[in-house]
Amino acid sequence: MSQNQQTTTRPPLITLLCTFVFAAGIYMIIQTFSGAFQHDLKDSGKILFSPLIVLFIIIALTGASGIWTMEKWGFFIFLIAACGFQVVPAIFGVWTYAWLLPVVLSSLFAIHLREMKS
């Protein structure tokens, strides 16, 4: 029995970054539901901010799971989430430099894009 599938080993950088994304994503979901991000938004009526951020966190976690298995689709899904993390806070007027972290992570994931399976 021969397998035609190509096995791709996960680089240590991908393992480290994906672990960080999983931990940060779970932490952000907990913080969102605990009301940590609501201090500026309750008074201004921007109630959609938290659900949209949670949506993009779920998209980012989906992408990170694809990157974990070294699939290219995971990178592109994560890239969509990184763009969402720029647009949503900008629309609601709460964008800070901290929101650039997903863009930096996307750049680091892109280093290994050639090694990922199609």
Reported as a single tens digit per residue, the pLDDT across 71-111 is 999 999 999 999 999 999 998 888 899 999 999 999 999 99
Summarize pLDDT for 34-64 with one digit per residue, the tens: 876 666 656 566 778 888 999 999 999 999 9
For 71: left if phi > 0, alpha if psi spans -120 to 50, otherwise beta; the answer is beta
Phi/psi of residue 71, nearest 5 degrees: -105, 135
Domain assignment present for 1: no
User: Do 40 and 95 meet the contact criterion of CB atoms below 8 Å apart?
Assistant: no
pLDDT exceeds cutoff 80 at 21: yes
pTM summary value: 0.85
Domain assignment present for 31: yes
Phi/psi of residue 117, nearest 5 degrees: -80, 150
User: What does the radius of gyration of the chain's CA atoms come to, in whole angstroms?
Assistant: 16
Domain assignment present for 3: no
Residue 59 belongs to what domain range? 12-38+45-115
Q: 23, 13, 21: which is closest to 113 by C-alpha? A: 13
Residues 6+ apart with CB under 8 A from 79: 63, 106
Domain assignment present for 6: no
| Residue-level pLDDT at 1 | 46
Quick one: pLDDT band at residue 7, thresholds 50, 70, 90?
low
| Residue-level pLDDT at 38 | 62
Please state the domain count of the chain: 1
| Residue-level pLDDT at 5 | 58
